[in-house]
Amino acid sequence: MTIDKSKPVMVTGANGYVASWLVKRLLEEGFTVHAAVRNPAKTEKHAHLDAVAEKTSGNIKYFAADLLTEGSYAEAIEGCQVVFHTASPFILEVKDPQKDLIDPAVKGTANVLNQANKTPSVERVVVTSSCAAIYCDAIDTVNAPGGQLTEEVWNTTASIDYQPYSYSKTLAEKKAWEIANAQNQWQLVTINPSFVMGPALNAGTTTSESYTLLKQMGDGTFKSGAPKMGVGVVDVRDVAEAHFQAGFNQNAQGRYITSAHNTNFFDMAQAMVPKYGDKYPLPKKALPKWLLMLVGPIVNKAFTRSFIKKNVNVEWKADNSKIKRELGVQFRSFQETIEDSFQTMIDNGMI
């Protein structure tokens, strides 16, 4: 695929936390971005993108589109060579997982990719999947072949009742590969980030769950301690670069684990303590597993004993060598990512 900067690119969910950094990268590169958002009239949700567009050589055009409305992306995708499909609800507590998570994730993916099938200019589609489509619980990383997650692994244990967000991402990525494998006009590449942190361009309006955990760290929710719950962490700016490379690098193919650091909640909190520990009630010790088993299910219904057993004090490990080797993506340090995340909250009055 030869990049033609005169052709527009479409980004779905363009005003989101992850997508905003990708749109910035594309605008800086001089592209015309077709930004598909639910309601372009809500200008406060995309003012940060307009500000970037003003300072760069790129252009941004907004299109109203909803994942659940068939044909909704027809106008935005017109003439595009590359499509970045990032839109998908990232909410952990929902009333109706089918309606609130699975339908928009799966039907939305089908909607966007079927539209690509009807648009001859499309040569590549990048779908924002997730490590959640690769694993369900931290214990799955230990049990994976070679003791770490690779692109070969799929989440086989999430369900509508257990970690439904992860289930929605697994089903959506499977749907994407099913549609991609049934045609030969465009190539599919998926970016599978772990827990995304780092500064938010849309700090004033973000609803991404990425900031929920950070807020809880800063507001004293974890004052008595944070669990050593195994997770991967990656910087949002590096996730944007991963998408950019997935869209335009000749070598891009298949799935890409996009995760920089194998870590846990307690270590994340510890990284904030030196700079912010005096002013904010950050957790200073690790919560013992036995205590979590006792109180966890009372505090939060998602914190079942089975969940705690499979995730707390369990090391999380993923192999990120494919994206470094094939796409040349490099990752920021853990300290930089964590500090910049917390600083975003302070600067924007989020805590």
Ligand X SMILES: NC(=O)c1ccc[n+]([C@@H]2O[C@H](COP(=O)([O-])OP(=O)(O)OC[C@H]3O[C@@H](n4cnc5c(N)ncnc54)[C@H](OP(=O)(O)O)[C@@H]3O)[C@@H](O)[C@H]2O)c1
CA terminus-to-terminus distance, the chain = 45
Residue nearest to ligand X (CB): 16
Between 91 and 142, name the residue whose CB sits nearer to ligand X.
91
Residues that bind ligand X (CB under 6 A): 13, 15-19, 37-38, 45, 66-68, 86-90, 104, 128, 130, 169, 193, 195-196, 206-208, 210
**Helix runs in the chain, H state only:** 17-28, 47-55, 74-77, 97, 108-117, 139-143, 164-181, 210-218, 236-248, 265-276, 289-299, 305-311, 321-327, 334-347
| Cα distance between residue 301 and residue 341, in whole Å | 27
Minimum distance, C-beta of residue 119 to ligand X, in the bound complex (Å):
18
Minimum distance, C-beta of residue 167 to ligand X, in the bound complex (Å):
12
Between 97 and 193, name the residue whose CB sits nearer to ligand X.
193
Minimum distance, C-beta of residue 154 to ligand X, in the bound complex (Å):
15
Give me the sign of the Cα torsion angle 72, 130, 329, 266.
positive
Phi-psi region of 16 (alpha: psi -120 to 50; beta: other; left: phi over 0): beta
What would the two tokens of residue 130 be?
């997730």
The 8-class DSSP code of residue 136 comes to S
Minimum distance, C-beta of residue 92 to ligand X, in the bound complex (Å):
10
Between 218 and 232, name the residue whose CB sits nearer to ligand X.
232
| Cα distance between residue 26 and residue 54, in whole Å | 13
Between 22 and 282, name the residue whose CB sits nearer to ligand X.
22
What are the phi and psi torsion angles at 90 (to 5°)?
A: -110, 85
Minimum distance, C-beta of residue 65 to ligand X, in the bound complex (Å):
6
Minimum distance, C-beta of residue 137 to ligand X, in the bound complex (Å):
16
Query: CA angle at residue 216 from 211 to 218, to 5 degrees?
Result: 95
Between 6 and 69, name the residue whose CB sits nearer to ligand X.
69
Minimum distance, C-beta of residue 295 to ligand X, in the bound complex (Å):
26
Between 226 and 289, name the residue whose CB sits nearer to ligand X.
226
Between 99 and 305, name the residue whose CB sits nearer to ligand X.
99
Residues 6+ apart with CB under 8 A from 294: none
